[in-house]
Structure 1
Amino acid sequence: MGKFILTDVFVEVNGVNFSDHVSSVEVSVSHDEVDVTSFSGGGRERLAGLRDDSFTLNFQQDFAVGEVDATLWPLFSNKTEFTVKVRGTSAAISTSNPEYSATCILLEYQALSGSPGDLSETSVTFPAQRSGIARATV
């Protein structure tokens, strides 16, 4: 299997393509760990519980109309659910370029961060609602 270098990641939040404003991406999927250890076992036993998935995106902040802050602030303020989509490249969805998507909610938003002379960036975590992140190949 070939190696994969991230150079052309596709990122969409609430229908807005932010591929040109995102400098890092993380798609995290997990299950809660439920301890079901009983007295009859010789050690711990676990089952997979509820899903707890999320996207973490590092945005290069932009306050222009239709850009980062103008999109994220209303989602946070209005407690609105929205869709996040991420692909390894901007090419079409395929078996070699799956799309990860979920209905998300924005619970925390750091609108401005940095020191003198720094690029204004904000790291945002988008928790997936209900069924978690889906993976599509077509």
Structure 2
Amino acid sequence: MAKLVLRDCFIEVNGVDFSSHVSSVTVNLVKDEIDTTNFGGDGRERAHGLKDDSFELNFQQDFAAGEVDATLYPLWNLETEFLVKVRPRASAKSATNPEYSATCILLEYQPLAGDVGDLSETEVTFPAQRQGIVRATA
């Protein structure tokens, strides 16, 4: 079986391709755990609850027009919903290159952080709204 080394992930936020500005990506697929334990058993019992999916991206900050800060700050400031898309490779989505996408919001944004001599980076979490993250192959 082939192994995947992440080299050319596709990352799009609100229609802007940030593949060249993101150094790490995590797609979190999460469901709340609902405890349904009762007196009829000897152990815990659980059910799936609501989705609580998110994307975690580490951006290499850029303050130029149309780049990282110019895109993210208005999304945070104006409380806008937007689409995030992530694929393991930059090529078109397919059975071997699925696209994970969701309508998201930005609740927290740190436009500037770091020590002297460091690359200016900002870690951002995009919580998915309503239906959560969707996986598509076509």
- Please, what TM-score do these two structures have when normalized by structure 1? 0.99
Aligned to 1:24: 24
- Identical positions, percent: 68
* Correspondence 1:1-138 to 2 at 5 A: 1-138=1-138
**Count of aligned positions:** 138
- Please, what TM-score do these two structures have when normalized by structure 2? 0.99
CA displacement, residues 30-60 of structure 1 (integer Å, 9 cap, x when unaligned): 1000000001111100000000000000000
Q: Residue 2 of structure 1 aligns to a residue in which SS?
A: coil
Alignment gaps of 5+ in structure 2: none
Work out the CA distance in 2 between the residues paired with 1:20 and 1:8.
9
Work out the CA distance in 2 between the residues paired with 1:101 and 1:6.
18
How much has 1:70 moved relative to structure 2? 0.2
CA displacement, residues 98-128 of structure 1 (integer Å, 9 cap, x when unaligned): 0000000000001101000000000000000
How much has 1:71 moved relative to structure 2? 0.1
Work out the CA distance in 2 between the residues paired with 1:41 and 1:111.
51
Q: Residue 8 of structure 2 aligns to a residue in which SS?
A: coil
Alignment gaps of 5+ in structure 1: none
Moved over 6 A (4+): none
Q: Residue 20 of structure 1 aligns to a residue in which SS?
A: helix
